[in-house]
Amino acid sequence: MLRVVAIVLLLFFAVEARATEAGWALLRDGEHVVLLRNAMAPGAADPANFDIEKCSTQRNLSERGKQQARKIGALFAARAAPTERVLTSRYCRTKETARLAFGSAEDLALLDPPPADEKARKEQISAILKEVRDYSGSGNLILVTHLETIEAITGQPAREGEAVIVGAGEDSVRVLGRINFN
């Protein structure tokens, strides 16, 4: 039984490593959009006293998350085409991920977690899809955001600090590749 578990784990990590290498191959060419989930931040939800203007009221990056963000930046610099633009949600953990990884970023409220109101949610996701479809730079566009936003856009989850490379379809995006930084 232990041997079967070991084989399954080896196969899982081998598949994940190939997926990560395929993702880097895409990013070397540039012209891609990357949905990057914020680096590691403890907890599952922001506190009840959450204030978008005050980092002290939010979940923030752990020390391990800060190291992960720096690693993301170093690997992007070494293995990908230049980053053309970095956009981030207004939450402190995404802004810090972007700053540590890429130096700076522009806030884009569209990248905040989707609202509960279904109409507002659809409008937000539609606006993000427009950003993806309209991108035409020569480098890569990085959108630093949250699990809920990535799931709403792709229908798939992402780990903390995971990059999901997407391509635009007519009414949705398709996942082209993934890079895991854990």
CATH top-level class for 2-179? Answer: alpha beta
pLDDT band at 3 (very low <50, low <70, confident <90, very high): low
* The predicted structure's pLDDT at residue 171: 73
Predicted model pTM: 0.88
**∠100-58-155 over CA atoms, to 5°?**
75
For residue 30, give the DSSP letter.
Answer: -
Which residue has 């991920």 as its token pair? 97
Domain boundaries, given as residue ranges, for the chain: 2-179
Question: How many C-beta atoms surround the C-beta of residue 46 within 10 A?
Answer: 18
Each residue's pLDDT tens digit, 159-176: 999 999 999 877 778 999
pLDDT band at 17 (very low <50, low <70, confident <90, very high): very low
Q: Name which of 181, 182, 161, 174 is nearest 33 in CA terms.
A: 174
Given a contact cutoff of 8 angstroms between Cβ atoms, the answer to whether 29 and 84 are in contact is: no
Q: Which residues contact 37 (CB under 8 A, 6 or more apart)?
A: 144, 145, 146, 147, 150, 158, 159, 160, 161, 162, 164
Which residue has 């809920």 as its token pair? 148
